[in-house]
C-alpha cells in the first residue's frame, strides 16, 4: 500500500468510470455511517447514487485518483456553485464537491494531496479562492478543513440541516 501512496495519478474521470466511482462512494458512505456520520447515504441507493454521480459530470469536472490500477479517491471541481450565490457570486473561485478517499486509506495524506492539487489548478486558472461546504454536525471534517487553511464563510440551511461554507484564499 505504501507504494500506492508514492505513485498517485490524478486524472479526469470519464462517464465510463461512473460505476466504479459510485462503488467507491458507497464504501465511503458505509464507512461514514459506521462512524456515526449521517452523510452521503444517498450513494447507498443505486438509482439515486448513479443520478448524483452523473449530475456531477454535468456540473463540473470529475477527477479520480488512481494507483496501480486501483481507484483510491474522487473529487469534483466546479467553476460555479449556486448554493453559494447568496454569500458569494463571483468568478474568483473553484468549488470542491464530493471529495472522498477509500476508507482503507484515510489518514494516509491523500486528502491533503487532493487539496494541494485543486489549489494548484485553481491558481493556474487565475482563481483567488477555493470554496467548499460540509455539514455543520460533521465536526471532524470541519476541523480538517480549518486545519488546511479554510476559513468559515457562513452557513446555510439545506434539507433541514446546517451547512458550513468554507473558503481558502490562494
Q: What is the pLDDT of residues 55-90, one digit of tens each?
A: 999 999 999 999 999 999 999 999 888 877 777 778
Domain spans of the chain, in order of start: 2-169
Residues of the chain with pLDDT > 90, as a percent, come to 81
**Which residues have CB under 8 Å from 157's CB, separation 6+?**
163
Label residue 6 by pLDDT band (50, 70, 90): low
2 has pLDDT over 70: no
- Strand ranges (E), the chain: 9-12, 61-67, 70-78, 93-101, 129-135, 151-158, 161-169
The pLDDT, as a whole number, for residue 7 is 87
**Rounded mean pLDDT of the chain?**
92
Confidence (pTM): 0.91
Closest CA to 56 of 38, 78, 30: 78
Residues of the chain with pLDDT > 70, as a percent, come to 96
How many angstroms separate the CA atoms of 48 and 11, rounded? 25
- Residue 18: count other Cβ atoms within 10 Å of its Cβ: 17
3 has pLDDT over 90: no
Label residue 100 by pLDDT band (50, 70, 90): very high
* Average pLDDT of span 24-51: 94
The pLDDT, as a whole number, for residue 82 is 81
* Average pLDDT of span 37-56: 94
Q: Span 2-169: which CATH code?
A: 3.40.630.30
The pLDDT, as a whole number, for residue 54 is 96
Amino acid at each position: 500500500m505504501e507504494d500506492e501512496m508514492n505513485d498517485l495519478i490524478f486524472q479526469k474521470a470519464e462517464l465510463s468510470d461512473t460505476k466504479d466511482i459510485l462503488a467507491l462512494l458507497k464504501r465511503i458512505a458505509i464507512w461514514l455511517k459506521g462512524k456515526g456520520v449521517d452523510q452521503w447515504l444517498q450513494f447507498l441507493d443505486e438509482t439515486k447514487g448513479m443520478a448524483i454521480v452523473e449530475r456531477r459530470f454535468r456540473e463540473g469536472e470529475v477527477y479520480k485518483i488512481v494507483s496501480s490500477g486501483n481507484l483510491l479517491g474522487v473529487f469534483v471541481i466546479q467553476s460555479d456553485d449556486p448554493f453559494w450565490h447568496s454569500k458569494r457570486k463571483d468568478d474568483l473561485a473553484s468549488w470542491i464537491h464530493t471529495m472522498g478517499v477509500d476508507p482503507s486509506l484515510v489518514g494516509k495524506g491523500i486528502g491533503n494531496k487532493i487539496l494541494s492539487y485543486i489549489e494548484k489548478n485553481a491558481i493556474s486558472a487565475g482563481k483567488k479562492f477555493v470554496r467548499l461546504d460540509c455539514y455543520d454536525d460533521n465536526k471532524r471534517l470541519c476541523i480538517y478543513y480549518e486545519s488546511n487553511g479554510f476559513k468559515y464563510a457562513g452557513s446555510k440551511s439545506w434539507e433541514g440541516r446546517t451547512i458550513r461554507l468554507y473558503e481558502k484564499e490562494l
